Structure 1
Amino acid sequence: MAQSFNQYYQHIRQQQKREGLLWSGAILLVYLYSGHIAEFDWLVIWHGIPHFFDYIAEILPILHWQNLFADGHTKGSLAYWGYRLHIQIPLLGQTIAVAIAATLFSSILAAIAAFPSANNTNTHRGCRYILRTVAAFCRTMPELAWAVMFVMAFGIGPIPGFFALALHTFGAQTKLFYESVEVASDKPVRGLRALGATRIERMRYGLWPQVAPTFYSYTFMRLEINFRQSTILGLVGAGGIGQELMTSIKLDHFDQVSMVLLQIILVVSILDFLSGKIRTYILQGGQHV
């Protein structure tokens, strides 16, 4: 008995190794072929590595220690480096506001649409297909494409950025949310069904407590993504700090490029820290974190 089990185990192990090697070889071939089609060239990378930090070196501000804390008219001072902060900070606030508004609006809609989009909620097949199709269309269009369309319709400003982020976020969040609903345990749902609960009640009390932590995590993660995307959307006229970044790049104001990038890095870091704290606070039921 033990010998037959050992033979069976060795046979399965060998089969798994063969399949693993076959899949690894196939993936390697696809990878190499993709590199060939994309004209990937190691020589280009080798010659380009020494110049990788050239642009970073160019945008670094010229600061002089003896003038570091002088007024804004003295070159080499911090004040001279940040002479446009009174313009950039309101634009940065506008970018943050657009990212938060788009994330909250689209995530709430996605959370509502996720339950009828899932396969395990007994939703009508046609309704589920329509919701999934709309979500797929919204996330298939890049944010930049949406932004260009809305800039053409509404003009330059934060409104195109809001709609572009909201539509793409709705599509992406809906997919993530309904996939989370589909992998939730159906035992609470069956228990509620046996007690005569309605479909809405089964979703509310059987599925929502299971998927709520995942929904919150995806929402906070999406907020960070949307802030970074909103800076990119500013490059096509969707307002915010991205528009200031594009202007600085076009006018070769390299010191202001570094100032804007520094502000973006700081805000992303703060958002990452705060979102982690808020997520932990919510998931622990308001306990001290």
Structure 2
Amino acid sequence: MARPANGPVARMEAAFCELRRQRRNATLLGGAILLACLLMAGWVSEFHPATLWAGLPRIGEYFSRIAPSLEWGKLFAGTDTEGSLAFWMYRLDDWGLLLFETAQMAALATLMGAAAGLLLAFPAARNLGLPGWMSEVARRLLEATRTVPEIVFALIFVWAFGVGALAGILAIALHTAGALGKLFADAMENIEMRPWEGVRASGGSWFQACRYAVLPAAAPDLLSYAMLRFEINLRSASVIGFVGAGGIGEELYKVISFNYYEEISAIILLVILAVVCIDLASDALRRRVIEAVS
């Protein structure tokens, strides 16, 4: 004959089953609300599955058009031989110079934006002992600069300074300051505070504590975010060239406008390769910084 369940054990099992049932119901309710929100968003934005399904073949057709017509037997022939790599990249020297200009725009804008974002990150971090109103003002300022897309800033600066790289650099730098300032402040808030407390307890000033406690602890994350932003800015510098802000973007806009399909794929491939190089350099730099501060 089975022994009756112990009273406390039975109550614990009942409470566990009840808690699991409540969580399951909450999950189902949350899923239903999320599905309703997605359906509402699709209806408002006219995201119709039938339209998407009808357009997918056209996307494939476009990619097939921009794909180069390479032939293995002619792959390494000269620029006059259709089907060769040289024929596909026949303007590699011009595109390389434009891509170099775009990378310089992205690098300078990233440096300017990172410097401004770092200065604003210290007051934006809530754990560094500054007044609360200062943190709120810094965070609202960062939000304002990163909310406006780079291309809008580029249009404003093109109108103010004329067509050229300067407008693109300023537009990207302004947006970068807002984006990196937020990430830098979050990285500072996540550091271990004992070094900070030690510097302050030994008589160090607020600036000295930031220099010798906060920066070394947050440096790997700060560098990683900055290099990631450099990748993003390279893409942004390519896009804002569409509005006359210089770089490879102007050339890409031209070949897209005139439907020079193979040239489109060649330029896109060069941009992808540049981003890959930046990512590899970022990884190497981050490892070296971690080794230096650890």
TM-score higher than 0.5: yes
- Who is 1:193 aligned against? 200
Q: Quote the RMSD (CA, aligned, Å).
A: 2.2
User: Is 1:216 the counterpart of 2:223 in the alignment?
Assistant: yes
User: Is 1:45 the counterpart of 2:45 in the alignment?
Assistant: no
Decide which of 142, 155, 158 is 1:135's aligned counterpart.
Answer: 142
Structure-2 change in CA distance of 1:207 and 1:77 (3 Å): closer
Would the aligned equivalents of 2:110 and 2:233 in 1 still touch at CA under 8 Å?
yes
Letter in 2 for 1:244: E
- Who is 1:170 aligned against? 177
Matches within 5 A, 1:109-148: 109-148=116-155
Partners of 2:73 and 2:36 in 1: CA distance = 59
Partners of 1:257 and 1:41 in 2: CA distance = 29
Instruction: State the 1:67 CA deviation.
Output: 4.2
Partners of 1:33 and 1:115 in 2: CA distance = 40
Would the aligned equivalents of 1:139 and 1:172 in 2 still touch at CA under 8 Å?
yes
- Who is 2:275 aligned against? 268
- Who is 2:284 aligned against? 277
Larger-Rg structure = 2
Instruction: State the 1:93 CA deviation.
Output: 0.3
Structure-2 change in CA distance of 1:8 and 1:196 (3 Å): farther
Partners of 1:211 and 1:67 in 2: CA distance = 52
Partners of 2:237 and 2:143 in 1: CA distance = 21
SS in 2 for 1:285: helix
Would the aligned equivalents of 1:220 and 1:279 in 2 still touch at CA under 8 Å?
no
- Who is 2:92 aligned against? 85
- TM-score (ref. length: structure 1): 0.90
- Who is 1:31 aligned against? 38
Aligned length: 287
Structure-2 change in CA distance of 1:9 and 1:196 (3 Å): farther
User: Is 1:229 the counterpart of 2:236 in the alignment?
Assistant: yes
Instruction: State the 1:13 CA deviation.
Output: 3.2
Would the aligned equivalents of 1:138 and 1:171 in 2 still touch at CA under 8 Å?
yes
Q: Which runs of 5+ in 1 are unaligned?
A: none
Identical aligned residues as a percent: 35
Structure-2 change in CA distance of 1:192 and 1:70 (3 Å): closer
Partners of 1:53 and 1:70 in 2: CA distance = 29
Structure-2 change in CA distance of 1:207 and 1:63 (3 Å): closer
Structure-2 change in CA distance of 1:255 and 1:286 (3 Å): farther
- Who is 2:245 aligned against? 238
Instruction: State the 1:2 CA deviation.
Output: 5.0
- Who is 1:204 aligned against? 211
Structure-2 change in CA distance of 1:245 and 1:24 (3 Å): same
Structure-2 change in CA distance of 1:23 and 1:205 (3 Å): farther
Would the aligned equivalents of 2:219 and 2:289 in 1 still touch at CA under 8 Å?
no
Partners of 1:198 and 1:259 in 2: CA distance = 54
Bigger drift between 115-124 and 199-208 goes to: 199-208
User: Is 1:103 the counterpart of 2:110 in the alignment?
Assistant: yes
Letter in 2 for 1:128: S
SS in 2 for 1:120: coil
Superimposed CA distance per residue, residues 85-119 of structure 1 (whole angstroms, 9 cap, x where no aligned partner): 22111000011111111112211221222111111
Would the aligned equivalents of 2:216 and 2:293 in 1 still touch at CA under 8 Å?
no
Partners of 1:53 and 1:271 in 2: CA distance = 29
Superimposed CA distance per residue, residues 34-76 of structure 1 (whole angstroms, 9 cap, x where no aligned partner): 1111112111122222222111111223334454444333433
Q: Which runs of 5+ in 2 are unaligned?
A: 1-7
Structure-2 change in CA distance of 1:286 and 1:204 (3 Å): closer
- Who is 1:15 aligned against? 22
Superimposed CA distance per residue, residues 235-256 of structure 1 (whole angstroms, 9 cap, x where no aligned partner): 1111111111111111222221
- Who is 2:3 aligned against? none
